[in-house]
Amino acid sequence: MSGFSDLLSAETMRQLDHLMLGSRWTAEGGRAGRHSSVLKGASVEFRDHRDYVQGDSLRHLDWKLFGRSERYFIKQYQEETSLRVHLVLDASASMAFRHSGSIAKFEFAREVAAAVAYLAHHQQDSVGLVIYDDQVRRWLPAKGGSRHVRNFLEALAAHQASGRTDTGKALESLAEGMTRRGLVLMLSDLLDAPAAVFRALAHFRRRGHDVVLVQVLDPAELDLPFDGVSDFIDMETGERLEADAALVRRAYREAIGAAIDGCRARCGALRVDFRLATTERTPAGFLTELLADRQRLGA
């Protein structure tokens, strides 16, 4: 489809053709697809039996089972539906940072989002987009079809990282608008108040969404590989801090490691799938690993 080639290389799309999106829990979409639905109805795949209740349609009675047991049972079936995929991108100014990674953090997040949309489109699933900083800047509810995907890709390509982050303020009402459960993939550097981030994630989980939180960092943000006295500038506030990197490197690495471990633990408590992605990786390589891990867990 035209538009994907503006954000994804031909080699990336070739690698994606072997991947498959899924949800750890049942989906709730708007049209037929390959994912199990939370709804039960008459469909192709048999699921289970339940006792007959007066008023049930007789056409769903299992007469063979009645012949063996002389009891009435209703056949239940597994409805197949499409998956609703919501891509949530942090587009604050800190996401524009690039030092030792191959691309800036926002560019990495944008390519991952485009790659997920590519998979969803080819699986005939629905895809939506949320771009935020201290407020939601763009929101395209999850839909299918070529025209919607074209709008998705245009919005994704046009946006640039800027502004301050306020995840809680930006996303507090978003989950209320996502009434049908699906897969929420959030990409952020998480340079925000942790309480605000996890308050937003808790909203999504209460709605029954399968949530994947991807923390996107430049390798330099993990290692602090600078020499001598450096001037560190907050990209969102302009605040400056002068420090000798060699003197603070050990304490910094311990602090960033503890922060990442804290995020992973809080995600575990919420049953949110936490992943760390650094920008020296290719988005296709990261996504291949993510989806393989989730498939082993049953997604």
Which backbone phi and psi does 136 adopt, to 5 degrees?
A: -75, 120
Single out the residue of 222, 231, 226 nearest to residue 247, CA to CA: 226
Q: Is 50 exceeded by the pLDDT of residue 60?
A: yes
Average pLDDT on 21-38 reads 54
Q: Which residue has the higher pLDDT, 38 or 126?
A: 126
Q: 46: pLDDT confidence band, cut at 50, 70 and 90?
A: low
Q: 179: pLDDT confidence band, cut at 50, 70 and 90?
A: confident
Q: Is 60 exceeded by the pLDDT of residue 38?
A: no
Q: What is the pLDDT of residue 21?
A: 87
Contact 243, 229 (CB under 8 A): yes
Give the model confidence (pLDDT) of 105-119 as tens digits: 999 999 999 999 999
Give the model confidence (pLDDT) of 71-88 as tens digits: 888 776 544 457 899 999
Q: What is the pLDDT of residue 3?
A: 85
Average pLDDT on 53-64 reads 74
* Distance between CA atoms of residues 206 and 146, nearest Å: 31
Q: What is the pLDDT of residue 153?
A: 96
Q: Is 90 exceeded by the pLDDT of residue 244?
A: yes
* Distance between CA atoms of residues 126 and 141, nearest Å: 9
Q: Which residue has the higher pLDDT, 66 or 225?
A: 225
β pairing state of 35-41 and 73-81: antiparallel
Q: 40: pLDDT confidence band, cut at 50, 70 and 90?
A: very low
Q: Is 50 exceeded by the pLDDT of residue 37?
A: no
Q: Is 80 exceeded by the pLDDT of residue 203?
A: yes
Q: What is the pLDDT of residue 66?
A: 81
Q: What is the CA radius of gyration of the chain?
A: 23
DSSP output for 134-182? SSEEEEEEEE-SHHHHHHHHHHHHH----S---HHHHHTTHHHH--S--
Sign of the CA dihedral 230, 234, 235, 238?
negative
Average pLDDT on 144-155 reads 94
* Distance between CA atoms of residues 232 and 238, nearest Å: 10
Domain 4-28+83-296 is found in CATH 3.30.420.40: no
- Chain centroid offset of residue 172 CA: 17
37, β-bridge pairs? 27
Q: Is 90 exceeded by the pLDDT of residue 271?
A: yes
Single out the residue of 100, 134, 109 nearest to residue 237, CA to CA: 134
Q: 64: pLDDT confidence band, cut at 50, 70 and 90?
A: confident
Q: 97: pLDDT confidence band, cut at 50, 70 and 90?
A: very high
Q: 181: pLDDT confidence band, cut at 50, 70 and 90?
A: confident
Single out the residue of 183, 213, 203 nearest to residue 24, CA to CA: 183
Q: What is the pLDDT of residue 196?
A: 86
Which value, to the nearest 10 degrees, does the dihedral of the CA atoms of residues 284, 221, 156, 17 take?
0
Q: What is the pLDDT of residue 298?
A: 64
| Percent of the chain topping pLDDT 90 | 60
What is the overall mean pLDDT for the chain?
86
Domain range list for the chain: 4-28+83-296, 35-81
Average pLDDT on 136-148 reads 93
Q: Which residue has the higher pLDDT, 64 or 217?
A: 217
